[in-house]
Amino acid sequence: MTELPPLRDVIAAHGLSASKALGQNFLLDTQLLDRIAAVPGDLTDETVYEVGPGPGGLTRALLARGANVVAVERDRRCLAALQQVSDHFDGRLTVIEGDALRVDEAQVTGGAAHIVANLPYNVGSALLVRWLTEERWPPRWKSATLMFQKEVAERIVAKPGSAAFGRLSVLAQWRSDASIALNVHRSAFVPPPKVMSAVVHIVPRSAPPDVKGPVIEQVTQAAFGQRRKMLRQSLKSVPRALDALESLGIDPTRRAETLAVDDFVAIAREIGP
């Protein structure tokens, strides 16, 4: 089996100078990478879908834990380095060159998979919303372990009443469990970004009955789109929403951020399909 060179040497050998446009901030600390790869639990013979493997640090850690990895990378400069990783791990890594926003992960992984990614920040939120709003639930992804800017991570796991509680919190929590698995200091990245980061772990659970995803999306969008306004104002545009508040006994002068996740579920159920 060929030995893999240290990540710093890979970056130098393949000329992987970090591209700002591609959101490239690489992780080279193997201990930290292994801690991230440990977040989803036992990966022996599991399939992992990785977005943006870059020089392959996180990819190596996932493969070392026994996973089969399907990775999508947009930067073709990384492909030769990733091929070396694939060879080293007996072909358990498949790399797809492309834009993750255009890839159907269920199709390329061929079934249930854990998602793990140190995402480019600009792409991260868009992908997360897509995964959280899938119609089929539980979805095909078994868990998602994702690096975000700390501020975004805090919004995902925020509890009602806090300033960070918003649309992303409800979407992430109404039929999933979301937690911060670890905080990552900016100095861990090469080059270091301006802000701190955190790894979020999201595990889907069964959805509450009789609630349609698109309705909850519509309600949260309206409610948090005007988060300083009272619900009677912000939910006016959503058919049957004000009647739902009344029949549930929710005071329409409250603001969205004071409602519990279960209140949003109840409102969506009351509105109906």
| Virtual torsion, Cα 99, 102, 106, 109, nearest 10 deg | -30
Least Å from the CB of residue 3 to ligand SAM: 20
When asked if residue 57 is in the footprint of ligand SAM (CB under 6 A), the reply is yes
Site string for ligand SAM, 113-152 (x = CB under 6 A): -----x-x--x-----------------------------
Distance CA 125, CA 101 (A): 11
72, 170, 184, 211: which one contacts ligand SAM (CB under 6 A)? Answer: 72
Site string for ligand SAM, 34-53 (x = CB under 6 A): -----------------xxx
CB of 169 to ligand SAM, least distance (A): 24
Residue with tokens 């905080």: 183
Q: Does 22 bind ligand SAM (CB under 6 A)?
A: yes
Asked if 27 interacts with ligand SAM (CB under 6 A), we say yes
> Using CB under 6 A, which of 10, 37, 67, 100 touches ligand SAM?
100
